[in-house]
């Protein structure tokens, strides 16, 4: 698993490049809830908008094996719905490789 730090701003974007695939995450705070869209490096939307829930996959199953990549989840250490004002203190973006997912190593 690879962990990424998130910003505590209500609306922000972050690019990450695990396993030589670049993903752009655009987090948005809309009507009291956090949503995210995920684009590939060419700007092609592969997920979203998706509500950000604790430890739920961010890329839908049909796009899950995007270029043999794994999948992402946002984890809130307190087990609550991830919110931007807790991102820096309690939340992180996690990347799980395809082999970790297939072996059941995902929590």
Half-sphere exposure (Cβ direction) of 101: Cα atoms closer than 13 Å: 18
Residue 14, pLDDT > 70, answer: yes
pLDDT-derived band of residue 60, with 50, 70 and 90 as boundaries?
confident
pLDDT-derived band of residue 54, with 50, 70 and 90 as boundaries?
very high
In the block, which residue shows the tokens 């060419």? 42
Residue among 78, 57, 71 nearest 99 (CA): 71
Residue 64, pLDDT > 90, answer: no
Which is more confident, 25 or 68? 25
Q: pLDDT at position 104, please?
A: 79
Residue 50, pLDDT > 80, answer: yes
Taking residue 38's Cβ as centre, other Cβ atoms within 10 Å add up to: 22
């Amino acid at each position: 698993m690879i962990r990424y730090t998130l910003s505590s701003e209500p609306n922000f974007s972050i690019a990450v490049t695990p396993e030589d695939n670049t993903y752009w995450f655009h987090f948005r705070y809309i009507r009291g809830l956090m949503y995210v869209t995920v684009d590939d490096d060419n700007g092609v939307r592969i997920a979203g908008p998706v509500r950000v829930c604790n430890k739920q996959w961010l890329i839908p199953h049909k796009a899950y094996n995007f270029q043999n990549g794994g999948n992402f989840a946002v984890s809130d250490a307190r087990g609550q719905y991830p919110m931007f004002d807790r991102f820096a203190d309690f939340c992180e973006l996690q990347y799980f490789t395809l082999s970790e997912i297939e072996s059941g190593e995902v929590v």
